[in-house]
Amino acid sequence: DTAVSQTPKYLVTQMGNDKSIKCEQNLGHDTMYWYKQDSKKFLKIMFSYNNKELIINETVPNRFSPKSPDKAHLNLHINSLELGDSAVYFCASSQGGTSGGAEFFGPGTRLTVL
Partner 1 sequence: AQTVTQSQPEMSVQEAETVTLSCTYDTSESDYYLFWYKQPPSRQMILVIRQEAYKQQNATENRFSVNFQKAAKSFSLKISDSQLGDAAMYFCAYHDSHDMRFGAGTRLTVKP
Alpha-carbon gap, residue 74 to 50, rounded angstroms = 10
Considering the complex, state which of residue 79 and residue 110 has its C-beta at the smaller distance from partner 1: 110
Q: Which of residues 28-67 bind partner 1 (CB under 8 A)?
A: 35, 41-45, 48, 55-56
Helix (H, G, I), strand (E, B) or coil at 8: coil
Q: Which of 32, 76, 92, 113 binds partner 1 (CB under 8 A)?
A: 92
Q: What is the DSSP string of 58-114?
A: -S--TTEEEE-SSTTB-EEEE-S--GGG-EEEEEEEESS-GGG---EE---EEEEE-
Q: Which of 23, 78, 98, 111 binds partner 1 (CB under 8 A)?
A: 98
Interaction between residue 79 and partner 1 (CB under 8 A) = no
Q: Give the residue among 66, 77, 68 at the shortest CA–CA distance from 29.
A: 68
Q: Which of 88, 89, 111, 113 binds partner 1 (CB under 8 A)?
A: 88
Residues that bind partner 1 (CB under 8 A): 35, 41-45, 48, 55-56, 88, 90, 92, 97-105, 107-108
